Structure 1
Amino acid sequence: MKHKYISSKMKKGKPIINDRFLSRHVPETRWYHASTLNMMLRNFPVLYIKPDNGSAGTGIIRVKRLNRSQSLISYKTTSKVCSNRNIVFEVVKRMRRGKKYIIQQGISLATYRNKPFDLRIVLQKPSNRWSLTWMSAKVAPRSNSIVTNVAKGARDARIKEILRGADQPLHVSRVLWTLSDVSYKIARKLGSRFSFRILGLDMGIDKRGKVWFIEANTKPNFHGLKKLDPIQYRRYLQAKRRIEASR
């Protein structure tokens, strides 16, 4: 079975959103429309508007509701306070013409030294079963960073070090078990729909320790990870070679 690449966030997310168990771990996610933005801004304090086919955190717009009449809109390295009546206009100004966008409920991510972090989980399917071959954390460069992508200045770090040193008290063993369990279930769900052999999952932990699925990548980037954890990297390479040999 040849591995299939899918760039659409919504196409990869829909099977998980529609799953009765896994949907508990997915932030509210919809196609972007002006009416959806206004509705979700009433329901959630933070929203992320993302290109459906984007990667590396490029093009993401964050909207934070400040009060009933104003929001803070952040894009790239700039932020602007604007009236909620003008929020659609301000968002559209920052969108790329002709691109589809999704809108997603923002998660109050756990922090490490006051910087939000999320988690990089990689599963591979060298034979007929999924194998979890990589787990690490990505720590944002600043406390107010819009994204935690390494391409935007975040740093990769060992997952246990970050979970144990988090600013919030996390039950590390329970978080790791749930993270593994949910990740395997996501891989099996997506693997039953598409011919995937490798999945990179962006997962989040909120300040209360709940595990969240953010998005799936069918071509995860391993640049620079060999030095971070040579043992895990060797495990990833072994699975990769078996996948390539089975083609």
Structure 2
Amino acid sequence: MDHFISDGLELAFLDAGDRDAPSVLLLHGFASSMQVNWVDTGWVKTLTDAGYRAVAFDHRGHGRSAKPTQEAAYTPQKMAGDAVALLDHLGMPRTSVFGYSMGARVAAFASLAVPARFERVIFGGLGSGLVEGVGDWDPIAAALRAPSLEDVKDPRGRMFRAFADRTKSDREALAACISMSRKELTEAAVGRIDQPVLIGVGTTDEIAGSPHRLAALMPNSRVLAIEDRDHMQSVGDRRFKAEVLRFLGEGA
């Protein structure tokens, strides 16, 4: 694990596999980290074993990266800028990108900001929520700021508060992040993502929104419906891994 600087913040990253191999930039979800989202679920091993270079980092406010508590620090544009700054730091002119949940939103903003840097795009755990929103997240910010888990009554708030407690996250930084980072893109903007896109969403995921409605907005996209998996269970699903490798292989 190493660090790079973006927007004046020190952010932690990992770089695994053959440096000359095709690369995949991994962007983790809200309240998670590169360790929890990508290492513990076997994604880094899966990709490197298949001959890819796997690059991941902890978003600002997460993991071992800097944790500002000002909401203005967490716009999707700034978080997408962190992803591009890492590519610059590593001298990577072009890569595939795989974002999960919040990371998928960041991947979308990055792909639109500098499309020449991203050759293939994978959205996990996010469908039409990219343009329609994914529900009321204010209870999650309130849950993160509550004195204890026992004080949280909202079911989704309890889920994310318990996850944040389990990962020993900075809850104030996460509350600032969730208050600012969930900006939606317009349908017209999403329609400008013309790279090959794979959208993987669990069939029991109640957060992501419809992957098929999102796919219909882009000219070169397809859907993997991950059967009997919810938002949390889909991340490390073996069927998802197999389809991602198949999708990446098409660009070889």
TM-score (norm 2): 0.28
Structure with the larger strand share: 1
Relative CO higher for 1 or 2, CA cutoff 8 Å, sep ≥ 6? 1
TM-score, scaled to structure 1: 0.29
